[in-house]
Structure 1
Protein backbone atom coordinates (compact mmCIF):
# COMPACT_ATOMS: atom_id res chain seq x y z
CA UNK A 1 0.00 0.00 0.00
CA UNK A 2 1.25 3.48 -0.91
CA UNK A 3 1.43 5.66 2.16
CA UNK A 4 2.44 9.16 3.24
CA UNK A 5 2.62 10.84 -0.16
CA UNK A 6 2.40 14.58 0.33
CA UNK A 7 0.52 16.76 -2.13
CA UNK A 8 3.43 19.18 -2.42
CA UNK A 9 5.63 16.36 -3.75
CA UNK A 10 3.30 15.95 -6.71
CA UNK A 11 3.61 19.64 -7.53
CA UNK A 12 7.39 19.24 -7.17
CA UNK A 13 7.34 16.48 -9.78
CA UNK A 14 5.28 18.53 -12.26
CA UNK A 15 7.59 21.52 -11.87
CA UNK A 16 10.71 19.41 -12.36
CA UNK A 17 9.16 17.63 -15.33
CA UNK A 18 8.36 20.95 -16.99
CA UNK A 19 11.78 22.53 -16.55
CA UNK A 20 14.04 19.42 -16.37
CA UNK A 21 16.44 21.28 -14.09
CA UNK A 22 16.73 20.78 -10.32
CA UNK A 23 18.11 24.26 -9.64
CA UNK A 24 15.35 26.08 -11.53
CA UNK A 25 12.60 23.78 -10.20
CA UNK A 26 13.84 24.27 -6.61
CA UNK A 27 13.74 28.05 -7.02
CA UNK A 28 10.20 27.91 -8.37
CA UNK A 29 9.12 25.63 -5.51
CA UNK A 30 10.88 27.90 -2.95
CA UNK A 31 13.05 25.13 -1.51
CA UNK A 32 16.73 24.29 -1.69
CA UNK A 33 17.95 22.01 -4.45
CA UNK A 34 18.91 19.35 -1.91
CA UNK A 35 15.44 19.50 -0.32
CA UNK A 36 13.76 19.12 -3.68
CA UNK A 37 15.98 16.16 -4.54
CA UNK A 38 15.18 14.45 -1.23
CA UNK A 39 11.45 15.00 -1.71
CA UNK A 40 11.57 13.46 -5.20
CA UNK A 41 13.59 10.52 -3.93
CA UNK A 42 11.17 9.96 -1.04
CA UNK A 43 8.25 9.99 -3.46
CA UNK A 44 9.99 7.52 -5.77
CA UNK A 45 10.75 5.24 -2.82
CA UNK A 46 7.10 5.30 -1.79
CA UNK A 47 5.96 4.56 -5.35
CA UNK A 48 8.45 1.79 -5.92
CA UNK A 49 9.85 3.12 -9.20
CA UNK A 50 12.02 5.96 -10.53
CA UNK A 51 10.21 8.90 -12.12
CA UNK A 52 13.33 10.51 -13.57
CA UNK A 53 16.45 9.09 -15.17
CA UNK A 54 19.18 11.10 -13.47
CA UNK A 55 21.87 9.68 -15.74
CA UNK A 56 20.63 11.69 -18.72
CA UNK A 57 21.27 15.33 -19.54
CA UNK A 58 18.92 17.07 -19.79
CA UNK A 59 16.86 15.16 -17.23
CA UNK A 60 14.48 12.62 -18.78
CA UNK A 61 11.42 10.73 -17.56
CA UNK A 62 11.53 6.97 -17.21
CA UNK A 63 8.80 4.99 -18.97
CA UNK A 64 7.02 4.62 -15.61
CA UNK A 65 7.55 8.32 -15.02
CA UNK A 66 5.80 9.28 -18.26
CA UNK A 67 2.63 7.48 -17.19
CA UNK A 68 2.93 8.79 -13.64
CA UNK A 69 3.21 12.40 -14.82
CA UNK A 70 0.09 12.00 -16.94
CA UNK A 71 -1.89 10.63 -14.00
CA UNK A 72 -0.57 13.26 -11.58
CA UNK A 73 -1.51 16.05 -13.97
CA UNK A 74 -5.04 14.66 -14.31
CA UNK A 75 -5.32 14.07 -10.56
CA UNK A 76 -4.26 17.59 -9.58
CA UNK A 77 -6.29 19.23 -12.32
CA UNK A 78 -9.39 17.36 -11.20
CA UNK A 79 -8.64 18.10 -7.54
CA UNK A 80 -8.17 21.83 -8.11
CA UNK A 81 -11.26 22.08 -10.30
CA UNK A 82 -13.47 20.37 -7.71
CA UNK A 83 -12.10 22.45 -4.84
CA UNK A 84 -12.96 25.63 -6.74
CA UNK A 85 -16.38 24.17 -7.53
CA UNK A 86 -17.01 23.47 -3.83
CA UNK A 87 -15.95 27.02 -2.99
CA UNK A 88 -18.50 28.33 -5.48
CA UNK A 89 -15.90 30.11 -7.61
CA UNK A 90 -17.48 32.03 -10.45
CA UNK A 91 -16.19 31.74 -14.01
CA UNK A 92 -14.89 28.25 -13.28
CA UNK A 93 -13.13 26.74 -16.30
CA UNK A 94 -11.74 23.30 -16.99
CA UNK A 95 -8.41 23.05 -18.81
CA UNK A 96 -7.81 21.01 -21.94
CA UNK A 97 -4.28 20.70 -23.32
CA UNK A 98 -3.96 19.71 -26.96
CA UNK A 99 -0.99 19.46 -29.29
CA UNK A 100 -1.87 19.64 -32.97
CA UNK A 101 -0.01 19.35 -36.24
CA UNK A 102 0.48 22.79 -37.81
CA UNK A 103 -1.63 22.04 -40.87
CA UNK A 104 -4.58 20.77 -38.82
CA UNK A 105 -4.98 23.33 -36.05
CA UNK A 106 -6.50 26.17 -38.09
CA UNK A 107 -9.00 23.83 -39.68
CA UNK A 108 -10.06 21.74 -36.70
CA UNK A 109 -10.47 24.10 -33.78
CA UNK A 110 -12.98 26.57 -35.26
CA UNK A 111 -15.21 23.59 -36.04
CA UNK A 112 -14.72 22.13 -32.57
CA UNK A 113 -15.77 25.34 -30.85
CA UNK A 114 -18.66 25.78 -33.27
CA UNK A 115 -20.06 22.39 -32.22
CA UNK A 116 -19.15 22.62 -28.53
CA UNK A 117 -22.06 24.43 -26.88
CA UNK A 118 -20.34 25.07 -23.54
CA UNK A 119 -16.87 25.96 -24.87
CA UNK A 120 -16.86 29.17 -22.79
CA UNK A 121 -16.68 26.96 -19.69
CA UNK A 122 -13.31 25.66 -20.83
CA UNK A 123 -9.84 26.98 -21.53
CA UNK A 124 -8.06 25.31 -24.42
CA UNK A 125 -4.28 25.27 -24.39
CA UNK A 126 -3.34 24.46 -27.97
CA UNK A 127 0.18 24.10 -29.34
CA UNK A 128 0.50 23.93 -33.12
CA UNK A 129 3.77 22.09 -33.63
CA UNK A 130 5.59 19.60 -35.81
CA UNK A 131 3.91 16.21 -36.20
CA UNK A 132 6.80 14.34 -34.56
CA UNK A 133 6.66 16.75 -31.63
CA UNK A 134 2.97 16.04 -31.07
CA UNK A 135 3.74 12.33 -30.69
CA UNK A 136 6.54 13.10 -28.21
CA UNK A 137 4.21 15.38 -26.26
CA UNK A 138 1.67 12.62 -25.88
CA UNK A 139 4.18 9.93 -24.98
CA UNK A 140 5.75 12.21 -22.35
CA UNK A 141 2.41 13.20 -20.82
CA UNK A 142 2.85 16.87 -21.78
CA UNK A 143 -0.68 17.19 -23.15
CA UNK A 144 -4.06 15.50 -22.81
CA UNK A 145 -4.68 14.89 -26.52
CA UNK A 146 -2.98 15.25 -29.84
CA UNK A 147 -4.57 15.83 -33.22
CA UNK A 148 -2.27 14.39 -35.82
CA UNK A 149 -1.88 11.91 -38.64
CA UNK A 150 -1.75 8.14 -38.60
CA UNK A 151 1.21 7.01 -36.51
CA UNK A 152 1.97 3.29 -36.11
CA UNK A 153 3.85 3.90 -32.84
CA UNK A 154 0.56 5.00 -31.24
CA UNK A 155 -1.45 2.05 -32.49
CA UNK A 156 -1.03 -0.11 -29.40
CA UNK A 157 -2.69 -0.79 -26.06
CA UNK A 158 -0.99 2.18 -24.36
CA UNK A 159 -3.05 4.66 -26.38
CA UNK A 160 -6.57 5.22 -27.61
CA UNK A 161 -7.32 6.75 -30.98
CA UNK A 162 -10.32 7.99 -32.92
CA UNK A 163 -10.14 8.65 -36.64
CA UNK A 164 -11.51 12.12 -37.24
CA UNK A 165 -11.59 11.97 -41.03
CA UNK A 166 -9.71 10.94 -44.14
CA UNK A 167 -8.23 13.60 -46.37
CA UNK A 168 -6.28 13.89 -49.62
CA UNK A 169 -3.12 15.61 -50.70
CA UNK A 170 -3.43 17.33 -54.08
CA UNK A 171 -0.62 18.52 -56.32
CA UNK A 172 -1.40 22.21 -56.86
CA UNK A 173 -0.07 25.30 -58.56
CA UNK A 174 -0.74 28.98 -58.14
CA UNK A 175 -2.70 30.88 -60.80
CA UNK A 176 -2.29 34.13 -62.68
CA UNK A 177 -4.65 37.11 -62.42
CA UNK A 178 -7.00 35.42 -64.91
CA UNK A 179 -7.17 32.23 -62.86
CA UNK A 180 -5.02 30.16 -65.23
CA UNK A 181 -2.44 27.78 -63.74
CA UNK A 182 1.12 29.09 -63.63
CA UNK A 183 2.43 25.56 -64.19
CA UNK A 184 0.89 22.74 -66.20
CA UNK A 185 1.56 19.11 -67.06
CA UNK A 186 3.06 20.32 -70.32
CA UNK A 187 6.06 21.42 -68.26
CA UNK A 188 8.61 18.62 -68.00
CA UNK A 189 10.14 20.08 -64.82
CA UNK A 190 8.60 21.86 -61.83
CA UNK A 191 10.13 24.07 -59.15
CA UNK A 192 9.09 22.12 -56.08
CA UNK A 193 7.83 23.36 -52.71
CA UNK A 194 8.67 20.35 -50.54
CA UNK A 195 7.90 19.09 -47.05
CA UNK A 196 10.82 18.02 -44.87
CA UNK A 197 11.76 14.36 -45.34
CA UNK A 198 10.98 13.46 -41.71
CA UNK A 199 7.49 15.02 -41.74
CA UNK A 200 4.37 12.91 -42.28
CA UNK A 201 3.43 14.81 -45.45
CA UNK A 202 7.01 14.56 -46.69
CA UNK A 203 7.04 10.79 -46.31
CA UNK A 204 3.76 10.48 -48.23
CA UNK A 205 4.99 12.67 -51.07
CA UNK A 206 8.45 11.10 -51.26
CA UNK A 207 6.92 7.67 -51.55
CA UNK A 208 4.99 8.85 -54.60
CA UNK A 209 7.97 10.63 -56.15
CA UNK A 210 10.02 7.43 -56.00
CA UNK A 211 7.65 5.90 -58.56
CA UNK A 212 7.01 9.06 -60.60
CA UNK A 213 8.79 9.01 -63.98
CA UNK A 214 7.07 11.54 -66.23
CA UNK A 215 8.06 14.83 -64.60
CA UNK A 216 11.06 16.19 -62.73
CA UNK A 217 10.51 17.96 -59.40
CA UNK A 218 13.35 20.38 -58.67
CA UNK A 219 13.26 21.10 -54.92
CA UNK A 220 14.05 24.75 -54.15
CA UNK A 221 12.05 25.33 -50.96
CA UNK A 222 11.56 23.02 -47.96
CA UNK A 223 9.37 23.42 -44.87
CA UNK A 224 7.43 21.24 -42.43
CA UNK A 225 4.59 23.82 -42.42
CA UNK A 226 1.96 23.33 -45.10
CA UNK A 227 0.62 26.86 -44.51
CA UNK A 228 4.00 28.30 -45.52
CA UNK A 229 4.22 26.02 -48.54
CA UNK A 230 0.71 27.11 -49.55
CA UNK A 231 1.72 30.77 -49.47
CA UNK A 232 4.81 30.04 -51.58
CA UNK A 233 2.76 28.09 -54.12
CA UNK A 234 0.07 30.78 -54.30
CA UNK A 235 2.75 33.39 -55.03
CA UNK A 236 3.93 31.36 -57.98
CA UNK A 237 7.25 30.03 -56.71
CA UNK A 238 6.49 26.41 -57.57
CA UNK A 239 4.16 23.47 -57.15
CA UNK A 240 3.53 21.18 -54.20
CA UNK A 241 1.13 18.87 -52.41
CA UNK A 242 -1.41 20.42 -50.04
CA UNK A 243 -4.24 18.80 -48.02
CA UNK A 244 -7.74 19.31 -49.40
CA UNK A 245 -9.09 20.66 -46.09
CA UNK A 246 -6.67 23.60 -46.28
CA UNK A 247 -7.27 24.70 -49.87
CA UNK A 248 -11.04 24.68 -50.30
CA UNK A 249 -11.35 28.48 -50.40
CA UNK A 250 -8.35 28.84 -52.73
CA UNK A 251 -9.81 26.34 -55.18
CA UNK A 252 -13.19 28.04 -55.01
CA UNK A 253 -11.68 31.45 -55.78
CA UNK A 254 -9.21 29.99 -58.31
CA UNK A 255 -6.08 31.20 -56.57
CA UNK A 256 -4.87 27.59 -56.61
CA UNK A 257 -5.39 24.96 -59.27
CA UNK A 258 -4.99 21.17 -59.09
CA UNK A 259 -2.48 19.57 -61.46
CA UNK A 260 -4.06 16.28 -62.64
CA UNK A 261 -0.87 14.24 -62.60
CA UNK A 262 -1.67 10.52 -62.74
CA UNK A 263 -1.94 8.82 -59.33
CA UNK A 264 -0.82 12.02 -57.60
CA UNK A 265 -3.78 12.25 -55.20
CA UNK A 266 -2.38 10.93 -51.93
CA UNK A 267 -4.52 9.70 -49.00
CA UNK A 268 -3.94 10.87 -45.41
CA UNK A 269 -5.75 9.93 -42.19
CA UNK A 270 -6.29 12.30 -39.27
CA UNK A 271 -6.67 11.03 -35.70
CA UNK A 272 -7.30 12.19 -32.18
CA UNK A 273 -4.98 10.33 -29.77
CA UNK A 274 -4.84 10.02 -25.99
CA UNK A 275 -3.30 7.74 -23.38
CA UNK A 276 -5.25 4.64 -22.44
CA UNK A 277 -5.70 5.77 -18.85
CA UNK A 278 -8.53 7.43 -17.01
CA UNK A 279 -8.76 11.17 -17.59
CA UNK A 280 -10.73 13.59 -15.45
CA UNK A 281 -14.44 13.89 -16.18
CA UNK A 282 -14.13 17.04 -18.30
CA UNK A 283 -11.46 15.47 -20.51
CA UNK A 284 -13.47 12.28 -20.87
CA UNK A 285 -16.50 14.36 -21.87
CA UNK A 286 -14.40 16.19 -24.48
CA UNK A 287 -13.14 12.85 -25.86
CA UNK A 288 -16.71 11.59 -26.22
CA UNK A 289 -17.83 14.88 -27.77
CA UNK A 290 -15.12 14.82 -30.43
CA UNK A 291 -16.22 11.37 -31.53
CA UNK A 292 -19.67 12.74 -32.41
CA UNK A 293 -18.52 15.50 -34.77
CA UNK A 294 -19.24 15.09 -38.50
CA UNK A 295 -16.22 16.74 -40.12
CA UNK A 296 -17.75 16.73 -43.62
CA UNK A 297 -14.46 16.95 -45.51
CA UNK A 298 -14.80 17.21 -49.27
Structure 2
Protein backbone atom coordinates (compact mmCIF):
# COMPACT_ATOMS: atom_id res chain seq x y z
CA UNK A 1 0.00 0.00 0.00
CA UNK A 2 1.16 3.55 -0.71
CA UNK A 3 0.48 6.26 1.85
CA UNK A 4 -0.82 8.57 -0.87
CA UNK A 5 -3.72 6.17 -1.47
CA UNK A 6 -4.77 6.57 2.15
CA UNK A 7 -4.50 10.35 1.88
CA UNK A 8 -6.61 10.21 -1.30
CA UNK A 9 -9.28 8.20 0.46
CA UNK A 10 -9.43 10.63 3.40
CA UNK A 11 -9.73 13.51 0.93
CA UNK A 12 -12.64 11.69 -0.71
CA UNK A 13 -14.34 11.31 2.67
CA UNK A 14 -13.89 15.02 3.42
CA UNK A 15 -15.06 16.35 0.03
CA UNK A 16 -17.71 13.79 -0.83
CA UNK A 17 -16.92 13.75 -4.56
CA UNK A 18 -14.22 12.39 -6.84
CA UNK A 19 -13.77 15.67 -8.71
CA UNK A 20 -13.37 17.81 -5.59
CA UNK A 21 -11.05 15.27 -3.97
CA UNK A 22 -8.90 15.02 -7.11
CA UNK A 23 -8.61 18.82 -7.21
CA UNK A 24 -7.63 18.90 -3.54
CA UNK A 25 -4.96 16.25 -4.15
CA UNK A 26 -3.70 18.04 -7.29
CA UNK A 27 -4.18 15.09 -9.66
CA UNK A 28 -6.50 14.41 -12.56
CA UNK A 29 -9.79 12.72 -11.77
CA UNK A 30 -8.95 9.54 -13.78
CA UNK A 31 -5.62 9.20 -11.91
CA UNK A 32 -7.37 9.82 -8.62
CA UNK A 33 -10.02 7.16 -9.37
CA UNK A 34 -7.29 4.64 -10.24
CA UNK A 35 -5.56 5.25 -6.89
CA UNK A 36 -8.80 4.70 -4.97
CA UNK A 37 -9.25 1.46 -6.93
CA UNK A 38 -5.69 0.44 -6.02
CA UNK A 39 -6.47 1.02 -2.33
CA UNK A 40 -9.56 -1.19 -2.65
CA UNK A 41 -7.52 -3.87 -4.42
CA UNK A 42 -4.93 -3.77 -1.62
CA UNK A 43 -7.62 -4.01 1.09
CA UNK A 44 -9.52 -6.71 -0.82
CA UNK A 45 -12.88 -4.96 -0.26
CA UNK A 46 -15.05 -2.37 -1.97
CA UNK A 47 -15.08 1.01 -0.26
CA UNK A 48 -17.19 2.90 -2.80
CA UNK A 49 -20.71 1.89 -3.88
CA UNK A 50 -20.39 2.62 -7.59
CA UNK A 51 -23.92 1.45 -8.39
CA UNK A 52 -25.37 4.67 -6.96
CA UNK A 53 -25.01 8.37 -7.48
CA UNK A 54 -24.17 10.68 -5.82
CA UNK A 55 -21.12 9.14 -4.17
CA UNK A 56 -21.84 6.63 -1.42
CA UNK A 57 -19.45 4.62 0.71
CA UNK A 58 -20.14 0.98 1.43
CA UNK A 59 -21.40 0.10 4.94
CA UNK A 60 -18.02 -1.53 5.63
CA UNK A 61 -16.18 1.67 4.68
CA UNK A 62 -18.47 3.80 6.84
CA UNK A 63 -18.00 1.45 9.78
CA UNK A 64 -14.20 1.75 9.65
CA UNK A 65 -13.87 5.43 8.77
CA UNK A 66 -12.36 6.26 12.18
CA UNK A 67 -9.85 3.42 11.78
CA UNK A 68 -8.69 4.80 8.41
CA UNK A 69 -8.13 8.22 10.00
CA UNK A 70 -6.31 6.69 12.95
CA UNK A 71 -4.07 4.63 10.66
CA UNK A 72 -2.97 7.71 8.73
CA UNK A 73 -2.31 9.63 11.95
CA UNK A 74 -0.24 6.79 13.41
CA UNK A 75 1.88 6.51 10.26
CA UNK A 76 2.67 10.23 10.22
CA UNK A 77 3.35 10.29 13.96
CA UNK A 78 5.73 7.34 13.59
CA UNK A 79 7.46 9.08 10.70
CA UNK A 80 7.86 12.24 12.79
CA UNK A 81 9.24 10.25 15.72
CA UNK A 82 11.81 8.52 13.53
CA UNK A 83 12.97 11.81 12.02
CA UNK A 84 13.14 13.47 15.41
CA UNK A 85 15.16 10.65 16.92
CA UNK A 86 17.51 10.67 13.94
CA UNK A 87 18.14 14.40 14.07
CA UNK A 88 18.38 14.97 17.81
CA UNK A 89 20.39 13.65 20.71
CA UNK A 90 18.61 11.34 23.19
CA UNK A 91 16.67 13.24 25.84
CA UNK A 92 16.95 13.04 29.60
CA UNK A 93 13.98 11.24 31.16
CA UNK A 94 12.32 12.88 34.15
CA UNK A 95 9.91 10.87 36.30
CA UNK A 96 7.57 13.18 38.21
CA UNK A 97 5.00 12.43 40.86
CA UNK A 98 1.52 13.21 39.45
CA UNK A 99 0.78 16.11 41.81
CA UNK A 100 4.11 17.80 41.10
CA UNK A 101 3.70 17.26 37.37
CA UNK A 102 0.45 19.20 37.60
CA UNK A 103 1.85 22.41 39.11
CA UNK A 104 5.62 22.42 39.80
CA UNK A 105 7.12 20.60 36.84
CA UNK A 106 6.61 23.38 34.22
CA UNK A 107 8.58 25.89 36.33
CA UNK A 108 11.33 23.40 37.14
CA UNK A 109 11.58 22.34 33.50
CA UNK A 110 11.88 25.97 32.41
CA UNK A 111 14.79 26.42 34.84
CA UNK A 112 16.58 23.32 33.57
CA UNK A 113 16.14 24.42 29.96
CA UNK A 114 17.55 27.85 30.77
CA UNK A 115 20.71 26.09 31.98
CA UNK A 116 20.95 23.74 28.99
CA UNK A 117 18.84 25.14 26.12
CA UNK A 118 19.78 22.37 23.69
CA UNK A 119 18.99 19.51 26.08
CA UNK A 120 15.86 17.50 25.36
CA UNK A 121 13.65 16.22 28.19
CA UNK A 122 11.09 13.43 28.18
CA UNK A 123 8.53 13.46 30.98
CA UNK A 124 6.98 10.45 32.74
CA UNK A 125 4.14 11.36 35.11
CA UNK A 126 3.65 8.45 37.51
CA UNK A 127 2.62 7.67 41.07
CA UNK A 128 5.41 8.05 43.59
CA UNK A 129 6.41 4.40 43.92
CA UNK A 130 6.61 3.91 40.16
CA UNK A 131 8.61 7.13 39.77
CA UNK A 132 11.17 5.93 42.31
CA UNK A 133 11.28 2.52 40.61
CA UNK A 134 11.98 4.14 37.22
CA UNK A 135 15.01 5.91 38.67
CA UNK A 136 16.22 2.77 40.46
CA UNK A 137 15.92 0.66 37.28
CA UNK A 138 17.83 3.22 35.23
CA UNK A 139 14.77 4.14 33.17
CA UNK A 140 14.75 7.75 34.43
CA UNK A 141 17.58 10.25 34.85
CA UNK A 142 15.79 12.68 37.18
CA UNK A 143 13.17 12.00 39.85
CA UNK A 144 10.87 14.81 41.03
CA UNK A 145 8.96 13.85 44.14
CA UNK A 146 7.56 14.83 47.52
CA UNK A 147 9.04 13.67 50.82
CA UNK A 148 8.31 14.17 54.49
CA UNK A 149 10.87 14.03 57.26
CA UNK A 150 9.61 10.58 58.22
CA UNK A 151 8.98 9.29 54.69
CA UNK A 152 12.04 9.45 52.46
CA UNK A 153 12.35 7.96 49.00
CA UNK A 154 15.03 5.47 50.10
CA UNK A 155 17.14 6.32 47.06
CA UNK A 156 20.73 5.31 48.01
CA UNK A 157 23.32 8.13 47.66
CA UNK A 158 25.46 5.98 45.38
CA UNK A 159 22.55 5.86 42.91
CA UNK A 160 21.51 9.52 42.81
CA UNK A 161 22.27 12.97 44.21
CA UNK A 162 19.41 14.65 46.07
CA UNK A 163 18.61 18.36 45.88
CA UNK A 164 15.80 19.99 47.86
CA UNK A 165 13.91 22.42 45.65
CA UNK A 166 11.15 23.80 47.84
CA UNK A 167 8.39 23.16 50.34
CA UNK A 168 4.68 22.47 50.27
CA UNK A 169 2.08 21.07 52.68
CA UNK A 170 -0.97 18.85 52.60
CA UNK A 171 -3.88 20.90 53.93
CA UNK A 172 -7.43 19.81 54.71
CA UNK A 173 -9.82 21.72 52.47
CA UNK A 174 -13.48 21.68 51.48
CA UNK A 175 -15.67 23.73 49.18
CA UNK A 176 -16.93 27.07 50.47
CA UNK A 177 -20.53 25.83 50.27
CA UNK A 178 -19.77 22.68 52.23
CA UNK A 179 -17.91 24.66 54.90
CA UNK A 180 -21.07 26.70 55.50
CA UNK A 181 -23.42 23.73 55.82
CA UNK A 182 -24.76 22.83 59.26
CA UNK A 183 -23.96 19.12 58.95
CA UNK A 184 -20.34 19.88 58.04
CA UNK A 185 -19.77 22.28 60.95
CA UNK A 186 -21.73 20.25 63.51
CA UNK A 187 -19.11 18.34 65.60
CA UNK A 188 -21.70 15.65 66.31
CA UNK A 189 -22.15 14.84 62.64
CA UNK A 190 -19.66 12.68 60.66
CA UNK A 191 -17.23 14.63 58.51
CA UNK A 192 -17.35 13.48 54.83
CA UNK A 193 -13.78 12.70 53.80
CA UNK A 194 -12.10 12.21 50.43
CA UNK A 195 -9.06 9.98 50.93
CA UNK A 196 -5.91 8.67 49.35
CA UNK A 197 -5.41 4.88 49.56
CA UNK A 198 -3.74 3.86 52.84
CA UNK A 199 -0.76 2.33 51.03
CA UNK A 200 -0.06 5.44 48.94
CA UNK A 201 2.57 8.02 49.91
CA UNK A 202 0.03 10.75 50.67
CA UNK A 203 -2.20 8.22 52.44
CA UNK A 204 0.64 7.14 54.73
CA UNK A 205 1.71 10.72 55.43
CA UNK A 206 -1.82 11.80 56.37
CA UNK A 207 -2.39 8.76 58.58
CA UNK A 208 0.88 9.43 60.37
CA UNK A 209 0.66 13.19 60.84
CA UNK A 210 -2.96 14.33 60.70
CA UNK A 211 -5.70 11.70 60.61
CA UNK A 212 -5.45 10.54 64.25
CA UNK A 213 -6.04 14.09 65.49
CA UNK A 214 -9.03 14.52 63.18
CA UNK A 215 -10.57 11.20 64.22
CA UNK A 216 -10.14 12.18 67.87
CA UNK A 217 -12.14 15.34 67.23
CA UNK A 218 -14.78 14.12 64.75
CA UNK A 219 -16.45 11.05 63.42
CA UNK A 220 -15.66 10.59 59.72
CA UNK A 221 -17.29 8.92 56.76
CA UNK A 222 -15.27 7.98 53.67
CA UNK A 223 -16.93 9.36 50.54
CA UNK A 224 -14.26 8.61 47.96
CA UNK A 225 -10.82 6.98 47.70
CA UNK A 226 -8.44 7.91 44.88
CA UNK A 227 -4.70 7.91 44.17
CA UNK A 228 -4.96 11.16 42.23
CA UNK A 229 -4.84 14.57 43.88
CA UNK A 230 -6.52 16.19 40.89
CA UNK A 231 -9.38 13.71 41.13
CA UNK A 232 -9.93 14.43 44.83
CA UNK A 233 -9.71 18.16 44.08
CA UNK A 234 -12.55 17.82 41.56
CA UNK A 235 -14.63 15.91 44.09
CA UNK A 236 -13.99 18.58 46.72
CA UNK A 237 -15.01 21.34 44.30
CA UNK A 238 -18.43 19.71 43.79
CA UNK A 239 -19.00 19.58 47.57
CA UNK A 240 -18.49 15.83 48.06
CA UNK A 241 -16.28 16.12 51.13
CA UNK A 242 -13.05 17.41 52.65
CA UNK A 243 -9.64 16.31 51.37
CA UNK A 244 -6.00 16.81 52.24
CA UNK A 245 -4.39 18.30 49.12
CA UNK A 246 -1.04 19.96 48.33
CA UNK A 247 -1.49 23.67 49.06
CA UNK A 248 0.40 24.77 45.95
CA UNK A 249 -1.74 22.53 43.74
CA UNK A 250 -4.93 24.28 44.89
CA UNK A 251 -3.47 27.77 45.40
CA UNK A 252 -5.77 29.35 42.82
CA UNK A 253 -8.84 27.59 44.25
CA UNK A 254 -7.97 28.97 47.69
CA UNK A 255 -7.35 32.44 46.31
CA UNK A 256 -10.68 32.47 44.48
CA UNK A 257 -12.52 31.12 47.52
CA UNK A 258 -13.68 27.93 45.82
CA UNK A 259 -11.93 25.87 48.49
CA UNK A 260 -11.26 26.75 52.12
CA UNK A 261 -8.85 25.31 54.62
CA UNK A 262 -10.57 23.44 57.46
CA UNK A 263 -8.05 24.49 60.09
CA UNK A 264 -10.30 23.77 63.08
CA UNK A 265 -9.86 20.00 62.76
CA UNK A 266 -7.24 19.45 60.08
CA UNK A 267 -3.54 19.73 60.84
CA UNK A 268 -1.34 20.30 57.82
CA UNK A 269 1.36 17.84 56.78
CA UNK A 270 4.67 19.52 55.81
CA UNK A 271 6.20 18.32 52.54
CA UNK A 272 9.57 18.76 50.88
CA UNK A 273 9.92 18.99 47.10
CA UNK A 274 13.08 17.16 46.08
CA UNK A 275 14.82 16.14 42.87
CA UNK A 276 17.14 13.14 42.53
CA UNK A 277 19.73 13.23 39.75
CA UNK A 278 21.07 9.85 38.70
CA UNK A 279 24.80 9.38 39.21
CA UNK A 280 24.97 7.01 36.24
CA UNK A 281 23.40 9.05 33.41
CA UNK A 282 26.51 10.60 31.89
CA UNK A 283 28.15 13.98 31.65
CA UNK A 284 25.11 15.88 30.39
CA UNK A 285 23.12 15.22 33.54
CA UNK A 286 26.06 15.79 35.87
CA UNK A 287 26.77 19.08 34.11
CA UNK A 288 23.13 20.09 34.51
CA UNK A 289 23.18 19.27 38.21
CA UNK A 290 26.42 21.20 38.73
CA UNK A 291 24.94 24.28 37.04
CA UNK A 292 21.74 24.00 39.06
CA UNK A 293 23.61 23.78 42.37
CA UNK A 294 25.97 26.59 41.37
CA UNK A 295 23.09 28.89 40.44
CA UNK A 296 21.25 28.26 43.68
CA UNK A 297 24.44 28.53 45.73
CA UNK A 298 25.43 31.81 44.06
CA UNK A 299 21.97 33.21 44.69
CA UNK A 300 22.17 32.29 48.37
CA UNK A 301 25.56 34.01 48.77
CA UNK A 302 24.48 37.18 47.00
CA UNK A 303 21.27 37.54 49.00
CA UNK A 304 20.70 36.19 52.52
CA UNK A 305 17.87 33.67 52.09
CA UNK A 306 14.40 34.25 53.41
CA UNK A 307 12.70 31.38 55.22
CA UNK A 308 11.04 30.28 51.98
CA UNK A 309 14.24 30.57 49.97
CA UNK A 310 16.24 28.61 52.52
CA UNK A 311 14.44 25.48 51.34
CA UNK A 312 16.20 25.79 47.97
CA UNK A 313 19.58 24.81 49.40
CA UNK A 314 20.89 21.36 48.39
CA UNK A 315 20.40 18.58 50.90
User: What interval of TM-score do these two structures reach, taking the shorter chain for normalisation?
Assistant: 0.5 to 0.7
Q: Which runs of 5+ in 1 are unaligned?
A: 1-83
Could you say what secondary structure the match of 2:194 adopts? strand
121, 135, 138: which one aligns with 1:138: 135
Could you say what secondary structure the match of 2:92 adopts? strand
Q: Name the CA shift for 1:185/1:154 in 2 (closer, same or farther; >3 Å).
A: farther
Query: RMSD of the alignment, in Å?
Result: 2.7
Distance in 2 (alpha carbons) for counterparts of 1:252 and 1:181? 17
Q: Bigger radius of gyration, 1 or 2?
A: 2
Match of 2:19 in 1: none
Compute the displacement of 1:238 (Å): 0.6
Compute the displacement of 1:247 (Å): 1.0
283, 286, 289: which one aligns with 1:287: 289
Question: Is residue 2:174 matched to residue 1:173?
Answer: yes
Distance in 2 (alpha carbons) for counterparts of 1:262 and 1:110? 33
**Cα offsets for 1:23-71 (capped at 9, x unmatched):** xxxxxxxxxxxxxxxxxxxxxxxxxxxxxxxxxxxxxxxxxxxxxxxxx
Match of 2:25 in 1: none
TM-score scaled to structure 1, two decimals? 0.61
The answer to whether the 8 A contact 2:171-2:269 is kept is: yes
Q: Which has the higher strand share?
A: 1
The answer to whether the 8 A contact 2:279-2:286 is kept is: no
Match of 2:93 in 1: 97
Q: Which has the higher helix share?
A: 2
Match of 1:30 in 2: none
Q: Name the CA shift for 1:287/1:94 in 2 (closer, same or farther; >3 Å).
A: farther
Question: Is residue 2:160 matched to residue 1:159?
Answer: yes
Match of 2:105 in 1: 109
**Cα offsets for 1:151-186 (capped at 9, x unmatched):** 25215443321111121111000123xx96557543
Q: Name the CA shift for 1:229/1:119 in 2 (closer, same or farther; >3 Å).
A: farther
Question: Is residue 2:261 matched to residue 1:264?
Answer: no
Compute the displacement of 1:215 (Å): 1.0
Q: Which runs of 5+ in 2 are unaligned?
A: 1-85, 300-307
Could you say what secondary structure the match of 1:153 adopts? coil
**Cα offsets for 1:246-275 (capped at 9, x unmatched):** 011111111111001356111111211133
| Pairing of 1:189-228 with structure 2 (within 5 A) | 189-207=190-208, 208-212=210-214, 213-228=216-231
Match of 1:231 in 2: 234
